Structure 1
Amino acid sequence: MSLTSMLEAAAHGGTIEVEPGWTQGRAIFGGLTGALLLAAMKGRIAELSATTGKPDTVPPLRSITVSFVGPATPGPVELAAEVLRVGSNVTQCQATLRQSGEVVATALAAFGKHRESALSVAPTHGAPALPEPSSIEAFPYIEKLTPEFYQFVELRQVGGQMPFSGSDSHDISGWTGLREKPQHLSEEHLVLLADAWPPAPLQMLDGFAPGSSLTWTLELIAEIGPQSVPGTTDFAYRATTDSARDGYAHTHTMLWLPGGELAAISRQSITIFG
């Protein structure tokens, strides 16, 4: 089952099959988990819209927060989504991912319509100066060495060092995109790509130690949809480590469209076992 097929199945809720190859360590890659949860929520909102007319359409995603409760493995997973409230402008929804009867991830998301406002502040963080994506070789997928999901994403690193290299650096920059280009990029694709890089502080460790996301919030600034972002798009990426102590690290990340428009802001709490 392709990524497109998994996302389409997730939009209907219920049990879907996560194909092998989408793991990061022992668990399903967190970006895919977030994308599946988002697809389930959007599917539930679309169903409600079709039956009640409220909301009249699925509004653009404004924010999604994912809690990774436990590791999920490839195979059958169960998705359930619930619309919490449909307001005049904002629709709020939650979704849960279960495996073998246990909750493995939950998400809350806010979807908001356009509305008139006197407030307009341009993003204060410009895109990093990066070479063209085509001039940088993407990380290869190497069986049993790199995460399995590298088969499906292209990461082209410019700043920072490799994980577990004992580096003094704790930031990362580069380009991120999909290996198999869809016709267009959706919000679900952006959620997946925003979590594709290894946590920035792992490069400071001198030797392998496991780490995993605990909580993750992604805020969308640009509207990502079939009329606006082609599937060939690579996003500029920059991650900054804000703090690390007591086995937890905290990072914030920004992604930009190729023209320099800020697309999304991400924040993660990460557990570090080393």
Structure 2
Amino acid sequence: MSLTSMLEAASHGGTIEVEDGWTQGRAIFGGLTGALLLSAMKGRVADVAASTGKPAAMPPLRSITVSFVGPATPGTVEIEAEVLRVGSNVTQTQATMRQSGEVVAVALAAFGKHRESKLTVEPTHPFPELPEPSSVEAFPYIEKLTPEFYQFAELRQVGGEMPFSGSSSSGISGWTGLRERPQFLTEEHVVLLADAWPPAPLQMVEGFAPGSSLTWTLELIAEIGAETVPGSADLAYQATTDSARDGYAHTHAMLWLQSGELAAISRQSITIFA
């Protein structure tokens, strides 16, 4: 089942079959988990709109927060989504992913329609200085060495070092895109790609040590709608480690469209067993 097919299945809720090859360590890649939960929530909003007329149109995604409760493995998962509230401007939703009867992930999402406003603040983080994506070699997929989902996500690292290299650096930058390019990027694709990079502080660890996302919030700045961003586009990425202590690290990252427009802000709490 392709990524498109999995997202389509998730939009209907219920049982979804997660294909092999989408793991990161022992668990399903968190970006895919977030994308499936988002698709389920959008599908539920569409169902409510069809029966009530509200919202009149699907508002753009403004924020999604995912809590990774436990590791989910490839195979059958159950996703249940509900609409918490449809307001005049903002629609709030929730989705839960279960496997073998156990909760493995929970997400909240806020969708807000575009409104005219006198308030405008330009992004304070400038577009990073990166060479053209085509000039940077993508990480290869190497069986049993790189994460399995590298078969589907293409990462081109420019700044920072490799995970577990004992580096003094705690930041990462580069480009990311899908290996099989869709016609257009969707909000689900942006969610998936935003989590494709390894946690920035892992490069500071010398020798392998397990680590995983605990909570993750992605705030969309650009409106990624139908036919607005071509699927051939890569997203520029730059992550910073804000703090690390007591076995937990905290990072924030920015993602930009190739035009230089800020697309999203990502914030993560990460468990690191080192």
Q: TM-score, normalised by structure 2?
A: 0.99
Q: Which residue of structure 1 lines up, in the alignment, with residue 199 of structure 2? A: 199
How far apart in 2 are the matches of 1:123 and 1:199?
A: 23
RMSD between aligned residues: 0.5
SS at match of 1:238: strand
Structure 1 gaps of 5+ residues are none
Match for 1:31: what amino acid? G
Output the amino acid matched with 2:133: P
Deviation (angstroms), 1:244 = 0.3
Counterpart position of 1:246:
246
State the AA in 1 paired with 2:88: S
- Output the CA distance in 1 between the equivalents of 2:83 and 2:273: 36
Query: Alpha-carbon deviation of 1:45?
Result: 0.2
TM-score w.r.t. structure 1 length? 0.99
Within 1, Cα distance between the matches of 2:262 and 2:243? 23
Q: CA deviation at 1:143?
A: 0.2
CA distance in 2, matches of 1:116, 1:221: 15
**Stretches (4+) displaced over 6 A:** none
Kindly provide the amino acid, as one letter, of the partner of residue 239 in structure 2: A
Structure 1 letter corresponding to 2:203: Q
Cα deviation 1:77-103 (Å, max 9, x = unaligned): 000000000000000000000000000
Determine the C-alpha separation between the residues in 2 that align with 1:55 and 1:228: 21
Offset, 1:52:
0.9
SS in 1 for 2:189: helix
Say whether residues 1:50 and 2:50 are aligned partners: yes
1:108 maps to what in 2?
108
SS at match of 2:103: strand
User: Who is 1:66 aligned against?
Assistant: 66
What SS class does the counterpart of residue 141 from structure 2 fall into?
coil
- CA distance in 2 between counterparts of 1:48 and 1:230 reads 29
User: In structure 2, how many angstroms separate the alpha carbons of the residues matched to 1:127 and 1:237?
Assistant: 9
- Equivalent positions of 1:126-137 (< 5 A) are 126-137=126-137
Q: How far does the alpha carbon of each residue in 1:14-43 deviate from its partner, in whole angstroms, 9 at most, with x for none?
A: 001000000000000000000000000000
Work out the CA distance in 2 between the residues paired with 1:221 and 1:116.
Answer: 15
1:226 shift after superposition? 2.3
For 2:145, give the aligned amino acid: L
CA separation in 1, counterparts of 2:229 and 2:117?
25
Alpha-carbon shift at residue 51 of structure 1 (Å): 1.2
Amino acid aligned to 1:212: S
Query: Can you list the C-alpha shifts for 1:82-127, whole angstroms capped at 9, x where unaligned?
Result: 0000000000000000000000000000000011211111111111
Tell me whether 1:20 sits opposite 2:20 in the alignment: yes
Deviation digits for residues 101-157 of structure 1 (CA, Å, limit 9, x no counterpart): 000000000000011211111111111010000000000000000000000000000
Structure 1 match to 2:228: 228
Q: After superposition, what is the alpha-carbon deviation per residue over 1:147-172, rounded to whole angstroms, capped at 9, x for unaligned?
A: 00000000000000000000000000
Q: Distance in 2 between matches of 1:172 and 1:146?
A: 17
How far apart are residue 225 of structure 1 and its match?
Answer: 2.1
SS at match of 1:88: coil
> What letter is aligned with 1:216?
W
Q: In structure 1, how many angstroms separate the alpha carbons of the residues matched to 2:80 and 2:127?
A: 37
Letter in structure 2 aligned against 1:92: Q
The secondary structure found in structure 1 opposite 2:31 is helix
1:157-195 deviation per Cα after TM superposition (whole angstroms, max 9, x unaligned): 000000000000000000000000001100000000000
Deviations 1:245-272 (Å, cap 9, x if unpaired)?
Answer: 0000000000000011000000000000
Aligned residues: 274
Give CA deviations for 1:197-238 in whole Å, capped at 9, x if unaligned.
000000001100000000000000001122210000100000
How do 1:99-248 and structure 2 match up within 5 A? 99-248=99-248
Unaligned runs of 5+ in 2: none
**Stretch moving more, 222-231 or 201-210:** 222-231
Measure, in 1, the Cα distance between the counterparts of 2:116 and 2:257: 24
User: Matches of 1:167 and 1:126 in 2, distance apart?
Assistant: 25
